[in-house]
Amino acid sequence: MWDKLKEQLNILKLEKKKLFLITNSDKFLSKDEFLDTIASALQGGVDILMLREKIIPDNVIVELGHKIRTLCDEYGTTFIINDRADIAHIVEADGVHLGENDISIPDAREVLGHNAIIGKTVTNPDDVIQAVNDGADYVIIVNNDSIDFEMIKWIYENIDIPTFVTGAIGLDDTAELVARGVQKIAITEPIMYAKSPEHAARGFFKALAVARVREGRMARGQTF
């Protein structure tokens, strides 16, 4: 019972989180430049940060993870490691995000415990149902070509779990997305590669807020 309660508390922690930043260090020339970018983004108000680095060695991920853990503590940001529950445990991240070919959610719980936040990538309703049944605390919907608003509507109507949308989302898209029902977004390049990540993050929050006001004026059931 207590384990389930802890998982429910994780979901509640995420309810107010709106802006999820997923890192990509490919275009950075140094670790310091990468970390400075993250610090700037956190200063801009990023709610959740995922360290997602596919091609750098484990020891470098651990090194960066410890430093990002400190930054996230400073700004009160939730810190997630992509794929690797073992590294999430080592750097004391808040949790792990799992893709299609990663370990299972129950196995990640064995490593990290029931206090950890565990997310899952999904692409269709069956994925969402499976993730919920396995005990995911949140999901990220991957949209490679276009946003599937019907799927998002179905999730919001049938699944009580924080749901982030990712894909080709720019600042100009955000107001329309939220007006059509999207409540949470996960992005990389528009913030990571912005001239001022702080300014970019604040811009997304402003767009989310303006769109949310507009959405609040609409009758329930007419957001899509």
For 2-11+18-214, the fitting CATH number among 3.40.50.300, 3.20.20.70, 3.40.50.1980, 3.90.1150.10 is 3.20.20.70
For residue 13, the model assigns a pLDDT of 72
Contact at 8 Å (CB) between 119 and 139? yes
Count of other CB atoms within 10 angstroms of residue 18: 21
Q: What is the DSSP letter of 89?
A: H
Count of other CB atoms within 10 angstroms of residue 110: 10
Q: Tokens for 171? A: 């600042």
**Residues 6+ away with beta carbon under 8 Å from 57:** none
For residue 11, the model assigns a pLDDT of 67
Task: Tell me the C-alpha distance between 83 and 109, whole Å.
Answer: 13
Task: Tell me the C-alpha distance between 126 and 156, whole Å.
Answer: 14
For residue 223, the model assigns a pLDDT of 47
Provide φ and ψ at 22, rounded to 5°. -110, 120
Farthest-apart Cα atoms in the chain, separation: 52
- Best CA proximity match to 20, nearest among 89, 72, 90, 91: 72
Mean pLDDT, each 10-residue run in order, the chain (224 residues): 55 82 91 96 96 93 97 96 97 96 94 94 92 94 79 85 86 80 89 95 83 49 47
**Residues 6+ away with beta carbon under 8 Å from 197:** 37, 38, 40, 41, 44, 191
Task: Tell me the C-alpha distance between 15 and 13, whole Å.
Answer: 6
